[in-house]
Structures are given as structure tokens and as C-alpha cells.
A and B are shown apart, each in its own frame.
Chain A
Amino acid sequence: MKWANVKWIYLREVRDQLRDRRTLFTIAVLPVLLYPLLGMTFLQVAQFSREHTTPVLVLGANSLPETPRLLHEQKFDTNFASERDAKLLELTIESGLPERVALEDLPAWAEQQIQEGTYDAVIYFPDEFAQKLNDFRARMQQEHSADEAARPETAEEAIPEPELFVNTANDKSRMARDRVDSVLSRWRDSIVVDNLRDRRIPSVATKPFKVVSTDVARERSRRAAVWSKILPFIVLIWALTGAFYPAIDLCAGEKERGTLETLLCSPAERSEIAWGKLLTIMTFSMATSVLNLLSMGMTGAFVVSRIAMLGGDATTKLAIGTPPATAVFWLLLALLPLSALFSAVSLAIAAFAKSSKEGQYYLMPVLMITLPLMMLPMMPTTELDLGMSLIPVAGVMLLLQSLIEGQYLEVARYILPVMGVTLLCCLLAMRWAIDQFNKESVLFRESEQWGLGIWLRSMVRDRRETPSLAAALMCGVLLLLIRFFASFMFAMPTTWEGFAMSTVISLVAFIAVPAIMMSMLLARSPTKTLLLRSARLDATAMAALLALTLHPANVAMGVLVQKVYPYSTDILEQLKAFESVINGAPNLWVLLLVLAVTPAICEEIAFRGFILSGMRHMGHKWVAILVTSVFFGAAHMILQQSLTACVVGMVLGYLAVQTGSLLPSIAYHLTHNSLSMVMAICVPKLIEAYPGLSFLFSDGETGTLYQWPAIAVGAVLALGILNWFRNLPYEHTKEESLQEALDHQSAGLPVKS
């Protein structure tokens, strides 16, 4: 790959995008306009709620007591209403009920008045309100002086009840309620104080204790905590949007305009084109994000300062203010890998799309997958740990949160896994994008009428010697679905006989049989598909030996996985039940037959047989092995087992490819499972009988483990054996041979000018 070409393509694409008004609008104009517009609206609303006058009707003013005085010169008394509230509450005061309105009709009448907008709230003080207040006070006096025994209970009905009519479905009316409520409660407090004073009780009696709340967070870390949740989310959403639209224009758009074919017939390699376009998309993704951040920050700062100027306490209430400068720095740094990831994914999708319209359809699924990953770190219980750091996007966001909050020790601990996973995802997405550019079916895709029936028929009719990639994917998904539904349908058996029966039946019926049937239906040569040919005896023996030497490392890996992702209590119970069922096995040989021989044969037929044979049409043997292993891992259902199974699957796939036969893989699988059984059942007894064996084994919390020297020696031997397999001449598929030839074509010729 020539970086000079990548540079020329990048420069052209950037210039092209900058000359496109739509792109400029999305990345530059929109954010610059959007946030000030939002900010202005927010300010308007704030201003409105501050300055809007509230017409309130007060009925029954005659019944109000003389003291404390609630109304003064057609306003609420300023003792109970702040000056602003007193000014904004425009009172219409009536001495009693309105004319021709009976007391029972009052609610309906009030409702109508509020509906018509004449008043935002209506307060009614019933007849003799002041009288009742006085009665209430006198009765309290009485109760106070009476004997304990003779003290009458204060009847509820004795408490006077003024009525406030509001319509909470109406914003203005709700605002009126809040304002009137606060005035009335202050007025009530003042009456309480008066009452207490009458009885010579100090007013502090109503407050027997006071909670003193002290926020130990410093102002800076309080701001950081808020920003660490909000900022990454906003920045990432824009990074994704900013990547997606240019990607569509750069790929699907070029296909539509016919310029992609022009570029493809130039000497630029497909990978150079993909990289040039990727860098362009990344530039725009980051620019969109940064511009949004800047515009939002500036508008935010302005709005907060305006609200502060208006006399509100928004800054303290919202605990925001401008984000700390370090937060912005870390954010920009983390934007780089994430925008690379989003750009690569967008590029691959956009390269696949036939038209811009089709490309836009794919935005929603991408968001559906990405959003949960972005929301996960915002949940209050989510914390940065090893498990979380291995989840793409979420890991980076959590790392970013820790950085903004200044927890550098946490960051140092998890930065490697987070960055490793992100880098791996970037590379995989990029590989996918380049593959899209290499596929003529993607570049010159015509619209074709598609129907499930026609498709299935065509798969049978046009079948080749070994299954197609689509057939392999279909088989993988089908096996997973069957496995998933079967796990719901059949409960875990409690006896050994039931367990043995269900295990053998599910392995044969749900894994081997579907794969065999599909290979008969979707491939012209089922024997070649399932690699059913004899292998060299030494290869099979070496495979078994490899399983033996790799077993210590495998067990150690299992322990490591359990440390990173500990079993949930549910799973632990299941495993315990499984253990007790296994203990019911009559002897080791039966146990091995059920849990080693049967899975080794059935799973190898399906995964290394059918699925791997189909996957190899991709043209990259390692990618084929990896995808097959992911299916193999996923079929194990429990996350911890899936991860280890996936790694073992890589070795199994390698053996199948290098030897062209299923026998070595079966031998490896059989040996591996048998060793695990023997470790669990026989080794503890052996150690008891021969304590000398403890140089090889140790007893861990999770069962018998190998000692470090055993793991190291095993791994070294395993490397030797793997090297032996590497030197075997293996049969390439047509696609793999072509790929190798393409990889080896000479780099270039002397340039003529």
C-alpha cells in the first residue's frame, strides 16, 4: 500500500466534501445554529416563567382574618409574597362568591374560568374562615389547659379549608398554583407562629431538629461528575452521525454518480481507496463532534451566565457550569479511537449500500447497536472493571469518565485492555470495509427481486462442491437458534440417565443431524464438506498430543476468564446441579462416552465440517477459522465457557484446515474433553494417593489446577507441535489461492511520465 496515494485520495475527498453544501450544513452550520437556537428557546422559557403575570381570583376575601393580613392593596402582602411574586400575581378580589354561583357550582365555574383563560387560579375562602381560625385557636387553648383525660380530640372538620382551583394540565395554571401555594404556606406558617405565641411556646418548637447537609465533593469534582456522564455521550453521538453521512456520500453516493468506477480503474489499490476514504470520514466525524462540543459549550456558558444574571440559582441547582479544561482534553483524546471505529463501520456499511437512500436505511440499525453501548456507562451501577473494559465503546466511555473524574489509578489499570479491544475492533471494521471494496458483487450490485423461496431454491440448485458462505452463516445461525430454544424447552435433568440421554440426543439431533442434512442439500460433495477423509495417522496422534500439551494453558485461561467475568449465582447453582448429576455416572468410561466422544464427533461435524468449509470461501483462512470459532463459542451459551470454547475453536479450526480432515480435530476435541473430566474426577483422588503429584497439580478454589511449570512446559511443547502442523502442505480453496496471488503481486513498476 502506498501512503502517497492514500494522501491524494484523502485530500481530494476532503476538498470534495467541503465543496458540498449538504455536508457543510450538517457538520458546520447545523451545530453553530442549533445550540444558540436551543439556548435562546430555553432562555425564553425561563424569561417567560419569570415575567409572566398570573391572574388569580380571590373569592371570600371578607372571611379573611384581620391578622395576619394576607391581602394588602389588591396584592398579596409582601410579608408572604416575594416582591416579584406580589407584582406578578394579579389579584381580582371578591368579597364573597360570584353572583349567581352557588357553592356547589363553584368547582365547575372555576374550571370554566381557568379554561377560558380569564384566571390561572381561583382561591375560595369559605364563609366564616376567620371565625373558624379563631375557633380552632380557642379549642387548642382549651385542649392545652384541660386534663389529660378530658382532652377532646380536635375534629378534622373544625380545621378551616380554603380551596384552590387550578388546572395542572395547563402550564400557566400550574405556575399559578406554585406561586399561590408558596404565598399561602408562608401565611399559614405565620398563623402557626401566632398561635404558638398565644400559648407562649417559642416558634422554634415546630423545628425540633435541623438537618445540616454538607456536600463533601469539591466544586470541581462535582462539576466533573456531571460532565463525565453528559459530555462523552453527546460527543460520541455526534461522532457517529458525523461519520455516517459523509460515508454514505463517499461510497454509495459515488456509486450513484458513477465516479467510483472511475476511481477503481485507476492504479490506486482498493486498500488505498478505503484508507483514504476512512481518514476523510474520520476527519469529518471528529470535526462534527468538536464543533458541536464548542458550540454547545459556548451556548451553555452564555445561558448559565444569563440565568445567573436574572437572579436565579440555576448554576448551583444544576451543579454545572463550564466543564473542566482537563475533561475537554481527555474527551478530544478519546474521540480519536472511537471516531476511527465509527468511521470504519460506517465506511463498510456505506460501501455495501447501492444508493444513498439504501445507505440511510442502515443508520437506524447502527444506532440501535451503538446506543446501548453508549448508555451502559451512564447507568449508576456501572463501573470500570476488567469485564467492562473489554466491551467496545462502553469501555472507552468508562475510561473517559474515570479520566474526567481524575481517577488516574483506575485508568492506568484498564487502559491496556480498553485500547486493545478498541484497536482490534477498528482493525476488524477496517478489514471489513476493504473487503467490501474488493467484492465485485458489492460494487456492481444490481437490484434483484428477492424472495425467501427463490433464495432457498437457488441455494440448492446452484450449490457447489462445498457450501457457500451464506449457507455456512445460515447453518451457524440455525444451530444457535435451535440451541437457544432447546435450552428453554428442556429442563436440566436431575438423574444421570436423564442427563446422558438428553445430552446425546441434543448433540446428535440438534447439532450433527442439521449439519449433515444441510451438507447433503447445500453441497455437491458432502464428504469433502465434512472433511470425511482419512488423515495421516501421525497428524491425528499429533493433534491428541497437542490437546494434552495445551490443556494446562486452557485450564489456566478458564480460571482467568472466571476472574474477569465471575459466574452469577444462577449459573453457579446450575453448575453445582451439573456436578452432582455427573457424580451419578456409573463409571468414567460412560462419562467419557457422553461428554467427550459424542460432542467431539457431533460438534466437529457441524463446526469444523460444514461451517468452516463454507467460511473458507471468504479467501482468508484465519478469518474463516475465527468466525467459525465465534459460532462454536456462542453455541456454548454460558459466557465464560463461550470465551474459552472460542479460543479452543481456533486451534480446532487450524487443525482442520492444515490437515484437510476432520479426524485430527475430533482427536483434539476428544482428548481435551476427556482430560477435563479426568482432572475433575480422578486427579483429586490421585493426589491424595500420591502426594508427589502435587508438583504437577494444585488445588484451587475452582477445582484442580495445573502448576505454572506444567503450563509453561506444555505451552512450549504445544508451540513445537503447532509448528509441525504449520509445515503440512494444506489444500487452498480457489478464493484463498487468488488472495495469496493478489497479496504477492509485485508492488509496482517504474513510473512512466
Chain B
Amino acid sequence: MIHVRELTKSYADLRRGSFVAVDSISFDAAPGQIYGLLGPNGAGKTTALRILSTMLQPTSGTATINGYDVLTQPALVRRQIGYVSMNTAVYDRMTAWEMVEYFGRLYGIEAENLCERMETIFERLQMNEIRNLLGAKMSTGMKQKVSIARAIVHDPPVLIFDEATSGLDVLVARALLKTVMELREQGKCIVFSTHIMREVERLCDRIAILHRGHILAEGTLSELAERHNESDLEELFFRLISEHDEKQHGLLATVL
């Protein structure tokens, strides 16, 4: 469903020259699977997911979603995905219903079908109380629900969640994770990025540990535990990151 090959993104930077945010990463995610991207802040998770959602163009490498290329067929890719990120806000001056309806319209869904589908979604996400509430008056949790409703209104085969639980309290975060699991049950292919180990452990079928633009390890939780001889994910994560940093410093030391 999602195939990422040697994906690289570098930015021009006045001081440092070019800055590589994502460095030649490759992974695959299948339907009915939650693929976790685990990494500290600045690891390149958001950049990678922005490329998958066609908001950024890769410098090199390819990524296809449901067979469509993110670089050359962005409009088609966007029809295949629902994207929820800490950067995708809801409109302040629109109610929950209006906002979801608006995006449904942009996906070209007929008015009748759209209404039916929205009723189901609002029911499932328990959003009926906030149906007529303006975005400006919503709590963070309510806004997140609206974002999810907006992302699934067109029933896309692929869903991308970028740090979707950041800033949410435990109850709301838990509800969100439950929704994500339900979406997996429906056979969606889900990419879920986070820096919280517990979420990955509870949710993800496969994970990639991302650090400074590189994938340090990739596989199912048990595969990783076996390969690195470490059953605790947090320990594994720290070990991989510090090993990588030491290696980098070592290399730099030989250069200097």
C-alpha cells in the first residue's frame, strides 16, 4: 500500500549549506497494519510524512501510495490519504459539522452520501454534542476529533497520523488510540509517528526508529527485541540512538 524507497529530503540552509532532514529511508506498510515511526524531536518524522502527504517534494528517492507517485501524481495521492497532524488545525470560524462537510465536498462526495457518512462518523466519534460548536470554542481534544473526522470523511485506504496525540490529556489520547485501532480493524493502512514508546508498544505492528533522518532499526517489536537482544523498547531506543551518535562523533573525530 505504501512503498518508500531511498527517500531523501534536504533543505538549502544559508549557514550549513544543505541540511538533510530525511536521509535515504525505505519502508513498506500494508493494509490492516499500523506502521510506527518512532523518533525524538527533529528526527525527520514530520518531513517524511509531509512528503507522503504531498506537501513537500522529495529531493531524491520515490514514494508511492496505493500505486500513485507522491512527486508526479500528488492530486491522486491526496485522494488516497487522510492526514492528521499537530500542524493541521481546524478553522476557528467554522462549526465541526461545517468543517467536515467542507472537506467532504472537496473530496467530491455527493451531498446525500456525505450527510449519511457524516452522521455515522459523528456517531462513532461521539461528536454530536460539538456538531454546532465553532472551532474557536473547542478544547484540544474536540479539535482532534474534528481533525480525525475530516481525515476519514472520504474513507481513504491510507491514514497518516503525525504526532497526533501531542498536547492531548491521557483520556483523550487513549480515545484517539482506540479510534486508530478501530481504523486498523477496518483494513486501513496506517502510518503513526510519535516519540512516545507506550503508544508504539500498544499500537504498532511494525516500527521504524528514526534518528537524524536515518532509520536505525526496522521490524516488528518482537523482531527488534530478538535482533538487538533487548526486550524493553525504551532501552533499545536509547541504545540505538547513543550508538548512532557515538559512531557519528567517532567519524567526525577521524576527519578532524
Binding site for B on A (CB under 8 A): 2, 4-5, 8-9, 12, 15-16, 19-20, 257-259, 261-262, 264-269, 440, 443-444, 448-451, 454-455, 458, 461-462, 738, 741-742, 745-746, 748-749, 751-753
- Check B114 for interface membership: any CB of A closer than 8 A: yes
Tell me which of B55, B74, B93, B154 contacts A261 (CB under 8 A).
B55
- Please name all residues of chain B whose beta carbon is closer than 8 Å to the beta carbon of A262 when the two chains form the complex: 88-91, 147, 150
Q: How far is the CA of A751 from the CA of B88 in the complex (A)?
A: 24
With both chains docked as a complex, state the minimum distance between the C-beta of A182 and any C-beta of chain B, in angstroms. Answer: 61
Chain A proximity of B35: nearest CB distance (Å): 18
User: Is A455 touching B14 in the complex (CB atoms < 8 A)?
Assistant: yes
1/0 per residue B21-51: CB within 8 Å of A? 0000000000000000000000000000010
Contacts of B108 in A (CB 8 A): 2, 4-5, 267, 748, 751
Query: Which of A19, A257, A268 is close to B106, meaning CB atoms less than 8 Å apart?
Result: A268
Q: Which residues of B contact A257 (CB under 8 A)?
A: 89, 91-92
Does residue B56 face the partner (Cβ distance < 8 Å to A)?
yes
Chain A: minimal CB distance from B89 (Å): 3
Query: Known: A257-B92, A259-B90. Is A448-B14 also a contact (CB below 8 A)?
Result: yes
Cβ contact within 8 Å between A753 and B113: yes
The 4 closest A-B pairs by CB, nearest first: A258-B89, A753-B113, A741-B72, A19-B93
Give chain B residues whose Cβ lies under 8 Å from the Cβ of A753: 109-110, 113-114, 117, 154-155
Distance from B188 Cβ to chain A, minimum over Cβ atoms (Å): 13
Pair A259/B75 contact, Cβ less than 8 Å: no
Q: Max chain B CB contacts within 10 Å: which of A266, A448, A745, A746?
A: A266
Q: Which residues of chain B are within 8 angstroms of A19 by Cβ–Cβ distance?
A: 93
Which of B12, B15, B53 interacts with A265 by CB under 8 Å?
A: B53
Name the distance in Å between B194's Cβ and chain A's nearest Cβ: 19
Within the complex, the shortest CB–CB distance from A25 to chain B, in Å, comes to: 15
Asked if B79 CB lies within 8 Å of chain A CBs, one says yes
Q: Chain A residues near B56 (CB, 8 Å)?
A: 440, 444
From A259, A264, A741, B89 is in contact (CB under 8 Å) with A259
Q: CA separation between A266 and B104, bound complex, in Å? A: 9
CA distance A265 to B84 in the complex (A): 9
In whole angstroms, how far apart are the Cα atoms of A126 and B87 in the complex?
A: 87
List A contacts of B17 (CB < 8 A).
458, 461-462
Q: Does B192 touch A at the CB level, under 8 Å?
A: no
B76→A752 contact, CB < 8 A = no
B49 → chain A, closest Cβ, in Å?
10
- Chain B contacts with A in 72-99, Cβ cutoff 8 A: 72-76, 78-79, 81, 83, 85, 87-94
**Mask: chain B, 96-139; 1 = CB below 8 Å from A; 0 = not:** 00000011011111100110010000000000000000000000
Interfacial residues of chain B within 1-25, with CB under 8 A of chain A in the complex: 12-15, 17-18
Q: Which residues of A contact B144 (CB under 8 A)?
A: none
A-B contacts besides A262-B89, A748-B76, 18 pairs, CB < 8 Å: A8-B105, A16-B93, A257-B89, A257-B91, A265-B88, A266-B103, A267-B75, A267-B79, A440-B57, A444-B50, A448-B13, A449-B15, A458-B12, A461-B17, A462-B17, A741-B71, A752-B155, A753-B113
**B62 contacts partner chain A, Cβ-Cβ < 8 Å:** no
| CA A742 to CA B57, docked complex, whole Å | 12
B interface size (C-beta, 8 A)? 46
Q: Max chain B CB contacts within 10 Å: which of A267, A461, A748?
A: A267
- Once the chains bind, are B91 and A751 in contact (CB under 8 Å)? no
- Whole-angstrom CA separation of A738 from B89 in the bound complex: 30
A-B contact pairs, 17 of them (CB 8 A): A2-B108, A15-B94, A19-B93, A259-B89, A261-B85, A265-B83, A266-B78, A444-B50, A444-B55, A449-B14, A458-B17, A462-B18, A738-B71, A741-B71, A746-B73, A751-B108, A753-B117
Whole-angstrom distance from the CB of A702 to the nearest CB of chain B? 50
Q: Does chain A have a CB within 8 A of B193? A: no
Cβ contact within 8 Å between A738 and B75: no
Q: Does B54 lie at the interface of the complex (its beta carbon under 8 Å from any beta carbon of A)?
A: yes
Report the minimal beta-carbon distance from B48 to chain A, rounded to whole angstroms: 14
Residues in B neighbouring A451, C-beta threshold 8 A: 14
Most buried by B among A5, A12, A19, A458: A12
Q: A440-B57, A749-B79, A753-B114 are in contact. Are A454 and B15 (CB under 8 A)?
A: yes
B106 touches A745 (CB 8 A): no
CA distance A748 to B117 in the complex (A): 21
**Which of the residues B79, B87, B106, B113 comes within 8 Å of A8, measured between beta carbons?**
B106
Q: With the chains together, A501 CA to B31 CA distance in Å?
A: 75
Select one of A16, A458, A741, A752 contacting B14, CB under 8 A.
Answer: A458
Most chain B beta-carbon neighbours within 10 Å: one of A5, A269, A751? A751
**Residues of A contacting B150 in the complex (Cβ-Cβ under 8 angstroms):** 262
Name the CB-closest residue of A to B151. Answer: A265
Q: Do residues A748 and B55 form an inter-chain contact, with CB atoms below 8 A? A: no
Which residues of B are found within 8 Å of A752, using beta-carbon distances? 154-155
Residue of A461, A462, A738, A749 near B72 (CB, 8 A) is A738
> Within the assembled complex, what's the spacing in Å between the Cα atoms of A17 and B162?
29
With a CB–CB cut-off of 8 A, which chain A residues contact B74? 742, 745
List the A side residues contacting B53 at CB < 8 Å: 265
Report whether A266 and B107 are in contact in the complex, using a CB–CB cutoff of 8 Å.
Answer: yes
A440 with B55: in contact, given A4-B108, A12-B94 (CB under 8 Å)?
Answer: yes
B55 touches A443 (CB 8 A): yes
**Which of B75, B102, B147 makes the CB contact (< 8 A) with A745?**
B75
Contacts of A454 in B (CB 8 A): 14-15
Partner of B91, one of A16, A443, A449, A458: A16
| Cβ distance B56 to chain A, nearest Cβ, rounded Å | 5
Q: Which residues of the other chain, B, contact A261 by a CB distance below 8 angstroms?
A: 55, 85, 87-89
Nearest chain A CB to B253 CB, angstrom units: 24
The CA-CA distance from A326 to B66 in the complex, in Å, is 60
User: B102 contacts A8, CB within 8 Å?
Assistant: yes
The residue among A5, A461, A745 with the most chain B CB atoms within 10 A of its own CB is A745
A266 to B103 CA separation, bound complex (whole angstroms): 7
Complex: A261 Cα to B14 Cα, angstroms: 25
- Complex partner residue of A450 from B14, B91, B106, B113, CB under 8 angstroms: B14
Name the residue on B nearest A9 (C-beta): B106
Find chain A residues with CB under 8 A from B90 CB.
Answer: 259, 262
Please determine whether B93 and A20 come into contact, CB atoms closer than 8 angstroms.
yes
Chain B residues within an 8 Å CB radius of A741: 71-72
Within the complex, the shortest CB–CB distance from A255 to chain B, in Å, comes to: 10
B91 → chain A closest CB, angstroms: 5
Closest to A451 in B: B14
Contact of B88 among A258, A268, A444 (CB under 8 A): A258
Distance from B55 Cβ to chain A, minimum over Cβ atoms (Å): 5
Query: Given the complex of chains A and B, what is the CA–CA distance between A345 and B5 in angstroms?
Result: 40
Rounded to whole angstroms, the CA-CA distance of A93 and B88 in the bound complex is: 82
Q: How far is the CA of A265 from the CA of B117 in the complex (A)?
A: 20
Known: A261-B55, A264-B55. A12 touches B102 (CB 8 A): yes
The distance in angstroms between the C-alpha atoms of A427 and B103, with both chains bound, is: 28
- A238–chain B nearest beta-carbon distance, Å: 24
Give every chain B residue within 8 A of A9 (Cβ-Cβ): 106
> Complex Cα distance A741/B70, Å?
11
Q: Are B87 and A258 in contact (CB under 8 A)?
A: yes
- Whether B94 and A751, one on each chain, are in contact in the complex, defined by CB atoms closer than 8 angstroms, is no
Residues on B with C-beta less than 8 A from A440 are 55-57
0/1 string, B149-187, CB within 8 A of A gives 1? 010001100000000000000000000000000000000
Chain B residue with the shortest CB-CB distance to A269: B75
Q: Of all chain A residues, which has the CB nearest B86?
A: A258
Q: Is the CB of B106 within 8 A of A5?
A: yes
Chain B residues within 8 Å of A461, by CB: 17
Q: How far is the CA of A269 from the CA of B15 in the complex (A)?
A: 34
In the complex, are the beta carbons of B76 and A746 less than 8 A apart?
yes
Closest Cβ–Cβ distance, residue B78 to chain A (whole Å): 5
Q: Across the interface, which residues of B come within 8 angstroms of A449, CB to CB? A: 14-15
CA of A205 to CA of B155 in the docked complex: distance in angstroms? 101
Complex: how many Å from CA A745 to CA B15?
Answer: 37
Query: Cα distance A752–B103 when bound, in Å?
Result: 14
